[in-house]
Amino acid sequence: MSFLRRKLDDLKKPFEKGQKWEKYAPAINAFDTFLFVPNHTTQTGAHIRDAVDLKRTMVTVIIALLPALIYGIYNTGYQYFIQTGEAFTFLDAFIHGSWKIIPMIIVSYVVGLTIEFIFAIYRGHEVNEGYLVTGLLIPMIMPVDIPLWMVAISVAFAVLIAKEAFGGTGMNILNPALTARAFAFFAYPTYMSGNKVWVSEASNIDAISGETILGTLAAGGNVNYSFFEMFQGSIPGSIAETSALFVVIGAAILIATGVGSWRIMLGGVIGAALVGFLFNLWGANALMSFSWVNHLVVGGFAFGLVFMATDPVSAAQTNKGKWVYGILVGVFCILIRVFNPAYPEGVMLAILLMNVFAPTIDHYVIQGNINKRKKRWASALKTV
Amino acid sequence: MSADISIQRGATIHLKGSAEKILSEASPSKTFALKPDNFFGIVPRLMVKEGDKIAKGAPVFHAKKNPQIVFVSPVSGIVKEIQRGAKRKILKIVIEAQKGEAIVHKIPSLNRLDRKTVTDILLKSGAWPFIKQRPYGVLADPDLTPKSIYISTYASAPLDVDFQFLLKNNQKDFQTGIDILNFMTDTAVNLSVESSYLGFFENIKGVNLLPVKGPHPAGNVSVHIHKHDPINMGEKVWEVRPEDVANIGKLFTTGEFSARRTIAVAGESVSYPHYVITTIGALISSVTDITGYDNKQQNRFINGDVLTGNAEAPDGYLDFHNNLLSIIPEGNRYRMLGWLPFVDNKIPSLSKTSLSWLFASKGHSVDTNMNGEERAFVVTGEMEKVFPMNIYPMQLLKACMAGDIERMEALGIYEVLPEDFGLIDYANTSKIEAQEIIKQGIELMIKEVG
Q: What is the per-residue pLDDT across A289-302, written as a single tens digit (0 to 9) for each?
A: 888 998 899 888 99
Amino acid letter, residue A145: D
A34 and B339 in contact by Cβ < 8 A? yes
With beta carbons less than 8 A apart as the criterion, state whether A345 and A214 touch: yes
Q: Which of A256, A61, A196 is nearest to A140 (CA)?
A: A61
Report chain A's mean pLDDT, rounded to a whole number.
Answer: 90
Q: Which of A277, A259, A252 is nearest to A55 (CA)?
A: A259
Report the complex ipTM. 0.93
Neighbours of B262 (CB within 10 A): 21
What's the pLDDT score for residue A128?
85
Q: What is the mean pLDDT of residues B96-114?
A: 92
A44 and B435 in contact by Cβ < 8 A? yes
With beta carbons less than 8 A apart as the criterion, state whether B91 and B35 touch: yes
What's the pLDDT score for residue A193?
79
pLDDT > 60? residue B310 = yes
pLDDT > 90? residue B98 = yes
pLDDT > 90? residue B406 = yes
Instruction: Identify the H or E element spanning A25.
Output: helix A25-35
CATH of domain B31-97: 2.40.50.100
Closest chain B C-alpha to A19 CA, distance in angstroms = 22
Q: In chain A, which residues have their Cβ closer than 8 Å to the Cβ of B308?
A: 46
Q: In chain B, which residues have their Cβ closer than 8 Å to the Cβ of A164?
A: none
Q: In chain B, which residues have their Cβ closer than 8 Å to the Cβ of A119?
A: none
The pLDDT tens digits of the residues spanning B210-223 come to: 999 999 999 999 99
B376 and A373 in contact by Cβ < 8 A? no
The pLDDT tens digits of the residues spanning B322-353 come to: 999 999 999 998 988 888 999 888 889 999 99
Confidence of residue A205 (pLDDT cuts 50, 70, 90): low
355-384 in A: which are within 8 Å (CB) of B? 366, 369-370, 372-374, 376-377, 380-381
pLDDT > 90? residue A288 = no
Quick one: angle between helices A90-123 and A25-35, nearest 10? 140
With beta carbons less than 8 A apart as the criterion, state whether A159 and A115 touch: yes
What's the pLDDT score for residue A212?
82
B351 and A5 in contact by Cβ < 8 A? no
Quick one: angle between helices B171-181 and B242-254, nearest 10? 90
Instruction: Identify the H or E element spanning A178.
Output: helix A176-187
With beta carbons less than 8 A apart as the criterion, state whether A138 and A175 touch: no
Confidence of residue B27 (pLDDT cuts 50, 70, 90): very high
A50 and B412 in contact by Cβ < 8 A? no
- Is the bond preceding B215 in cis, omega lying within 30 degrees of 0? no
pLDDT > 60? residue B294 = yes
With beta carbons less than 8 A apart as the criterion, state whether A39 and A221 touch: no
Confidence of residue A228 (pLDDT cuts 50, 70, 90): confident
Q: In chain B, which residues have their Cβ closer than 8 Å to the Cβ of A55?
A: 339, 372
The pLDDT tens digits of the residues spanning B166-210 come to: 999 999 999 999 999 999 999 999 999 999 888 999 999 999 999
Q: Who has greater pLDDT, A128 or B38? A: B38
The pLDDT tens digits of the residues spanning B225-264 come to: 999 999 999 999 999 999 999 999 999 999 999 999 999 9
pLDDT > 90? residue B442 = yes
Report chain B's mean pLDDT, rounded to a whole number.
Answer: 94
B373 and A40 in contact by Cβ < 8 A? yes
Name the residue ranges covered by the structural domains of chain A.
Answer: 54-362
pLDDT > 60? residue A29 = yes
pLDDT > 60? residue B1 = no
Confidence of residue B2 (pLDDT cuts 50, 70, 90): low
Closest chain A C-alpha to B308 CA, distance in angstroms = 5
What's the pLDDT score for residue A208?
58
What's the pLDDT score for residue B338?
87
A47 and B309 in contact by Cβ < 8 A? yes
With beta carbons less than 8 A apart as the criterion, state whether A37 and B335 touch: yes
A39 and B334 in contact by Cβ < 8 A? yes
What's the pLDDT score for residue A209?
60
Closest chain B C-alpha to A37 CA, distance in angstroms = 5
The model's pTM: 0.94
Strand partners, A37: B335
What's the pLDDT score for residue B3?
65
pLDDT > 70? residue B69 = yes
Closest chain A C-alpha to B414 CA, distance in angstroms = 11
Residues 6+ apart with CB under 8 A from A15: A21, A22, A24, A25, A28, A29
**Phi, psi angle pair for A230, to nearest 5°:** -65, -40
Q: In chain B, which residues have their Cβ closer than 8 Å to the Cβ of A48?
A: 13, 158, 306-307, 328, 348, 366-368, 426
What's the pLDDT score for residue B36?
96
Q: Which residue of B has its CA nearest to A315?
A: B380
Confidence of residue A16 (pLDDT cuts 50, 70, 90): confident
27-46 in A: which are within 8 Å (CB) of B? 33-42, 44-46
What's the pLDDT score for residue A34?
83
Closest chain A C-alpha to B269 CA, distance in angstroms = 14
Q: Find the CB nearest B344 among A51, A169, A256.
A: A51
Name the residue ranges covered by the structural domains of chain B.
Answer: 10-16+113-254, 31-97, 382-448
